[in-house]
Amino acid sequence: MSPLHEHLPIERHGEVAVVSFNRPARRNAFDLGMWQGLQATMEALSADDTLRCVVLRGAGAEAFSAGADISAFAAERGGRAQEDRYAAVLHDSMQSIRLCRHPVVAMIMGWCLGGGAGIATMCDFRVGGESCRFGITARNLGIWYPYAEIDPIIQMVGTGVAAEILIEGRIFTGREAYEKGLLSRVVPDAAVPAEAMALAGRIAEGSPLSARFHKAALRRLRGPLPISAEEDAAVNAFAETEDFKAAFRAFLAKQKPVWRGR
C-alpha cells in the first residue's frame, strides 16, 4: 500500500498492515504533518475490509516514538489559537487509532514517551522490550494532558498509576510498565518484533467480524466521557500560562525550567 505520508510507510504482511514511524534521527517524533498523516493512514486502513490487524512501530530500535517534536513547537504551537488547532489535530489523530475497526498492536522498542506513549495507550495491545522506557512527560513543559488521552490510561491501570505517570512524571522500564499494566506483555528486547507480529498473526487467524465487534463493544461499554465541551476546551489554557512559555524557552536553551505557578 502506498504511504499517505513520507514518514509513515506501510508494509503489508498478508492480512496484517505494519505502519512505521520513520524519523529515526528525531527518535520518530511527530510534527503536525505527521499527526495528520497518521489520522489519514489509520482511517484508510480501517476502511480496508481485507485487513484483520494493524501493527504500529518505530523505525529502528532506539525509539517507538518520543512523541511530539518539540523543536517544531515554535512554528506549530505557542499561542492559544495555535494550540487549539494543534490539539484538534492531535485528538483526531489519537482517536483514529482507537476508532480503527481492526485491532491495533503497538510494537514498542526503546523510548516510548509523551505522545508516543499516548499512541501506545490508544492501541488494543502493547508489546514492549524489557529495557524500553514508557512515560508521559507533559509536566516537564507545563502541558496539560487531554481528558480523552488520560481516560485509556485510567481504564488500563487506574488512577493511582495514572498519577505516577502524569503528576510524579515516572518513566517506567518495560518490566515496570508490564507490572503496572501498561504493557500487554514484555519480552527480551530482541524478541519484540517477532512477538508483536506473532500476536498480530494470532489475531488475524480469528474471525475479523468477531474482532471488530468486540473492539467496538469494549469502547461502547466505556460510554462517553463525563466532560463538558467547556471543560474539554479549557485543557488548552496552558498555552496562555507563563510557565509553559518559560518552559518552552528553557527547552530550546537546554536549561531546566523554573516554575512560577502562573
The whole-angstrom separation of Cα 36 and Cα 232 is 21
Q: Which of the residue ranges 3-7, 97-101, 183-187, 204-208 would you say has the lowest mean pLDDT?
A: 3-7
What angle, 0 to 180 degrees and rounded to 10, lies between the N-to-C axes of helices 147-163 and 115-122? 100
What's residue 76's pLDDT?
Answer: 74
Beta-bridged to residue 172, according to DSSP, are 134
Q: Are 146 and 121 in contact (CB under 8 A)?
A: no
Task: Tell me the average pLDDT across 164-175.
Answer: 97
CB neighbours of 6 closer than 8 A, spacing ≥ 6?
22
- Please provide the average confidence, as pLDDT, over all residues in the chain: 94
The whole-angstrom separation of Cα 231 and Cα 233 is 5
Identify the H or E element spanning 164: none
Write the DSSP symbol of residue 190: G
What's residue 127's pLDDT?
Answer: 98
Tally of CB atoms within 10 A around 172: 22
Task: Tell me the average pLDDT across 237-248.
Answer: 91
What's residue 101's pLDDT?
Answer: 98
Tens-place pLDDT, residues 15-63: 999 999 999 999 999 999 999 999 999 999 999 999 999 999 999 989 9
Distance of alpha carbon 34 from its chain centroid, rounded? Answer: 12
What cell numbers appear for 34 in the block? 505527521
CB neighbours of 260 closer than 8 A, spacing ≥ 6?
242, 243, 246
* Contacts by residues 213-220 (CB-CB < 8 Å, ≥ 24 positions apart): 215/101, 215/102, 215/103, 215/124, 216/101, 219/98, 219/99
Residue 186 clears pLDDT 90, i.e. is over it: yes
| 119 band by pLDDT with thresholds 50, 70 and 90 | very high
What's residue 78's pLDDT?
Answer: 67
Tally of CB atoms within 10 A around 193: 18
List the domain boundaries for the chain.
10-192+206-211
What cell numbers appear for 175 in the block? 518490566
Q: Is 163 helix (H, G, I), strand (E, B) or coil?
A: helix
**Domain 10-192+206-211 coded CATH 3.40.718.10:** no
Alpha helices in the chain (DSSP H): 32-46, 73-76, 80-98, 115-122, 147-163, 174-180, 192-205, 208-222, 229-234, 242-252
| 114 band by pLDDT with thresholds 50, 70 and 90 | very high
What cell numbers appear for 101 in the block? 475497526
Residue with cell 489519537: 94
Residue with cell 502541558: 143
What's residue 103's pLDDT?
Answer: 98
The whole-angstrom separation of Cα 239 and Cα 117 is 21
| 91 band by pLDDT with thresholds 50, 70 and 90 | very high
What's residue 79's pLDDT?
Answer: 73
Q: State what percent of residues in the chain have pLDDT above 70.
A: 100
What cell numbers appear for 240 in the block? 496562555
